[in-house]
Amino acid sequence: MFIFDALRQIRQNTLKAAEHLSTEQLNHIPERCNNNIIWHIGHMMASQQILCYTRAGAKTRLSQEFIDKYKKGTSPKEWSESVSLGELKPLFLETANLFYTDYQSGVLSNYDTYPTASGIVLNTIDEAIQYSYGHENLDYGNILTMLKMIP
């Protein structure tokens, strides 16, 4: 299905953009920013889990602790330690692959309507998937911008 292929591709592109960076660079918070590159990578996963799994009443593929660390409104300014790409990369790829499997199995089909902060109301899992993909593109764009701002 195209949207899942596109999701996997945006995640591959994100990893390609970040893989050459050190842990220090990934965790650097640029001036006038609240977050960093590694946070955006984690946030892509956490947001997908909230928008598509939690709203469908399905068990998330990530721990609640992980989701709470990267959900909207959080910041790595609150963290006591740096996070490496190696910690997130397997989850980043696995959650993209499992997402399609879970969609096909129907575990995400009982979707509870959700009004987003941007004013869009999501009524179905298909709408949530499209919205989630758009959201991941925004985070990818933020990462590309931050690449120009890190030492």
Structural domains in the chain, CATH included, are 2-147 (1.20.120.450)
Give the model confidence (pLDDT) of 21-62 as tens digits: 999 999 999 999 999 999 999 999 999 999 999 999 999 999
Give whole-number Cα distances, 45 to 9, 62, 110, 121, 138, in Å.
14, 8, 20, 20, 13
Q: How far apart are the first and last CA of the chain?
A: 39
Rounded to whole angstroms, the Cα distance separating 45 from 9 reads 14
Residue with tokens 């965790």: 27
What's the pLDDT band for 151 if we cut at 50, 70, 90?
confident
Tokens of 9: 């591709």
Q: Is 30 helix (H, G, I), strand (E, B) or coil?
A: coil
The predicted model scores a pTM of 0.96
Q: b or e along 124-133 (b: 16 or more beta carbons within 10 Å of the residue's beta carbon)?
A: ebebbbebbe
Q: Is 114 helix (H, G, I), strand (E, B) or coil?
A: strand
Give whole-number Cα distances, 93 to 29, 96, 121, 150, in Å.
24, 5, 28, 25
Give the model confidence (pLDDT) of 64-123 as tens digits: 999 999 999 999 999 999 999 999 999 999 999 999 999 999 999 999 999 999 999 999
76 in Cβ contact with 27 (< 8 Å) = yes
* The predicted structure's pLDDT at residue 144: 97
